[in-house]
Amino acid sequence: MLDEIEYIYEIPKKDKEYTKILRLEKFSLILAFLSFIGIIGMGIAMYAFKNFFIYNFSLVLALLAINMAYIIKFYVSIKINKIYLAHIDELEKHGNIVKEAINFLLPKLRAELKKARYPLEDFRLNLKLVDYDWISVRKKPSILRSSYEVVFKK
């Protein structure tokens, strides 16, 4: 089973754009870190130096950096989804064992929720595929959501 999961994990690495995607991911992490540094600089400028120009400048830079980081992460996730969709036949071939593992783990999760006295109707999962035995669809994918919202069957 771990071999199939490893194979599915390795699918994007075979694509020619994977190095570009990795560089973009690293760049988004750097931008997120820089926004954190900007927020710290903003606080120092506000309290220590009482310099409102540096405060406003670092605030704008931090907001720009974090927004750019999120946009780049969104782009990276779209590219990886496209790579997986291009290899859907391989996913279906190797995904059966993963499906069996999920079917095995869903009743265990349901039992743990019952043991913790968590209401099953309040527990929701977001899944791309819904052909599992222990779940029922609550919400279908829409324009804003690309996954199914599912709950456990009663």
Q: Is residue 91 part of a domain?
A: no
Range with lowest mean pLDDT among 24-33, 35-44, 73-82: 35-44
Mark whether 66 and 115 lie in a shared domain. Answer: no
Q: Is residue 139 part of a domain?
A: yes
User: How does residue 75 score in pLDDT terms, banded at 50, 70 and 90?
Assistant: very high
Mark whether 7 and 76 lie in a shared domain. Answer: yes
The residue from 56, 86, 116 where one domain ends is 86
What's the whole-number mean pLDDT along residues 87-106? 82
How many angstroms separate the CA atoms of 65 and 79, rounded?
21
Mark whether 11 and 80 lie in a shared domain. Answer: yes
User: Tens of pLDDT along 113-128?
Assistant: 999 999 988 899 998 8
Mark whether 76 and 10 lie in a shared domain. Answer: yes
Q: Is residue 95 part of a domain?
A: no
Mark whether 72 and 119 lie in a shared domain. Answer: no
- Three-state DSSP state, 118: coil
Q: Is residue 100 part of a domain?
A: no
User: How does residue 60 score in pLDDT terms, banded at 50, 70 and 90?
Assistant: confident
**How many domains are contained in the chain?**
2
Pure H helices in the chain: 2-10, 18-44, 52-86, 88-115
Name the CA dihedral angle for 136, 122, 99, 17, rounded to a multiple of 10 degrees.
110
Mark whether 60 and 123 lie in a shared domain. Answer: no
Which residues span the domain enclosing 52?
Answer: 2-86
Mark whether 62 and 130 lie in a shared domain. Answer: no
- For residue 42, the tally of other CB atoms under 10 A from its CB is 19
Mark whether 80 and 111 lie in a shared domain. Answer: no
Q: Is residue 130 part of a domain?
A: yes
The residue from 86, 120, 139 where one domain ends is 86
Mark whether 15 and 82 lie in a shared domain. Answer: yes
